[in-house]
Amino acid sequence: MKLLEKTNRTYLLLSGTAFIMASLIIYLALSMIFDSQLKEKMYDSKMHVIQSIQRFGIILNDPPFVEVKENLKGNSEYEKNVDTLIFDSAEKENIPYRQVISSSLINGKYYQIIIRNTLIEKSDILITIITVLGFVFALLLLSLNILNRRISLKIWKPFYLSLDNLKKFSLENSDFVLTSSGDIEEFSQLNATLEKLTKKIISDYQSLKRFTEDASHEIQTPLSVIQSKLENILQFPEIKKEQAESIQAAFTATTRLSKLTKALLFLAKIENNQFEDSEKINFSIIVSNQIELLKDFIAEKSLTVSVRLEDNFILKSNYLLTESLATNLLGNAVRHSIPDGNIHIGLTNGSFRISNTGAPLKVPTEKLFNRFYKVNMTSDSPGLGLSIVNKICEVNNWKLDYKVENDLHTVTVTF
């Protein structure tokens, strides 16, 4: 819910309650006033009737408002209020009347005096009150709303400005600033805090990246020492088979570690935008060269490869990145293809498509592009190939798609 909507709702709820309460109070008060006035007026009429009999012996009769008659059987004075309905022949409806029926002893005779007065219909009063008050409240709400909107626009403007700026926040953009927030202290504080926060995030991110890069570099030298020592041991003529096998295993492990750090370094460099030089690249040639390089592995697995390459498919990008994209995707297809499987490679209509027959994925496809994500946990590969591909597509604004259909895994890069 938006801020303005929220305040409006609160206003509506409050004024609604006030409206109902005010209507009720006014109604009750008016009723009371009407009643007491009516009572006074009817008392006056009764006095008038009595006086005219006392002084002039005239019996006033004005039905249905005043009805006076001598009550021969009367023996006491009383007064009672009985409301009644009287049919009005002119309006053809029953009209409510208040009537005071009294018996009075005047000049030694008892008279029955009936004073009547039309009652104002309560529903009429209520409707009037609701209409008038409703109008007033509606006017009030409307003006409040307009006012609120204006104030919001003005007061909250810096807030929305900061919000827009924050939406543009990116870890890669190290010179992120929130624009000034005007004279409202809360917003200034908010901005200051946010700025501190984003600066911290950016600097943490940068140092993490630097750490990855430095660590990867630093690991290479000790690895070289290990590898060269192992290679030297292997040259001793008296070495035994078991020793040779252990050395080989250690060798393989160092190679793995070295490849892992190199891949991490490569990723870090892509993220640092260290591959900014772009040139015109004949992607068709890159792809066919890579296929040529993989020939031995394709033959080893007895894979059937069908290739459909558009000639001279030109891309404008970084050469190393483009080559890495092709190597990774083609290599993955070969690696993950089942023996005697099929690989289809297509470079047509602005997209590069590679399919291979493989075992069905047991995992959600989104995870496939995550770092160190391995479909096969026993695999020697560090699981960075697809995240490198993903990163390359990201920096080049290429679209990367992956889908599985009938054991056919297809990766599509749309340029």
Partner 1 sequence: MKILIIEDEIELLSSMSDYLVSEGSLVETACSFFKAEDALSVYNYDIIILDLTLPGGNGLDLIKLIKEKNRHAGLLIVSARNSLEDKVRGLDMGADDYISKPFHLAELNSRIKSLVRRRHFSGLTELVFNELKINTETLEVTVNGTVAEMTKKEFDIMLYFFVNRNKVITRDSLAEHIWGDSLSYADNFDFIYSHIKNIRKKIELKGGKNYIHNVYGIGYKFSDR
- Coil, helix or strand at residue 110: strand
Query: For partner 1, which is the closer residue by CB, 301 or 344?
Result: 301
The single residue among 254, 272, 284, 342 that binds partner 1, judged by CB under 8 A, is 254
Contacts with partner 1 by CB under 8 A: the residue count is 46
> Is residue 221 a contact point for partner 1 (CB under 8 A)?
yes
Query: For partner 1, which is the closer residue by CB, 88 or 277?
Result: 277
- Which segments within 245-300 are labelled E, that is strand? 279-282
CA distances from 26 to 20, 35, 54, 121 (A): 10, 14, 42, 15
| H helix intervals, 156-240 | 157-167, 185-234
Q: Which of 127, 124, 133, 146 has the alpha carbon at shortest distance from 17?
A: 133
Q: Which of residues 328-367 bind partner 1 (CB under 8 A)?
A: 330-332, 334-335
Query: For partner 1, which is the closer residue by CB, 259 or 344?
Result: 259
Decide the pairing of beta strands 408-414 and 351-357: antiparallel
- The region of 83-91, 234-242, 357-365, 392-400 touching partner 1 under the rule CB under 8 A is 234-242
Tokens 């019996």, located at residue: 59
- Coil, helix or strand at residue 177: coil
Question: What is the rounded CA–CA span in Å between residue 411 and residue 344?
Answer: 11
> Is residue 269 a contact point for partner 1 (CB under 8 A)?
yes
Q: Which of residues 292-331 bind partner 1 (CB under 8 A)?
A: 293-294, 296-297, 299-301, 320, 327, 330-331
Q: Which of residues 380-409 bind partner 1 (CB under 8 A)?
A: 381
- 364 to 383: interface string for partner 1, x by CB under 8 A: -----------------x--
Q: Running DSSP on this structure, what letter comes out for residue 59?
A: -
Question: What is the rounded CA–CA span in Å between residue 314 and residue 27?
Answer: 84
- The region of 116-124, 243-251, 302-310, 347-355 touching partner 1 under the rule CB under 8 A is 243-251
Question: What is the rounded CA–CA span in Å between residue 31 and residue 207?
Answer: 79
Query: For partner 1, which is the closer residue by CB, 74 or 331?
Result: 331
> Is residue 46 a contact point for partner 1 (CB under 8 A)?
no
Question: What is the rounded CA–CA span in Å between residue 329 and residue 372?
Answer: 16
> Is residue 170 a contact point for partner 1 (CB under 8 A)?
no
Question: What is the rounded CA–CA span in Å between residue 415 and residue 306?
Answer: 21
Chain contacts with partner 1 (rule: CB under 8 A): 217-218, 220-221, 223-229, 231-232, 234-235, 241, 244-245, 247-248, 251-252, 254-255, 258-259, 262, 265, 269, 274, 290, 293-294, 296-297, 299-301, 320, 327, 330-332, 334-335, 381
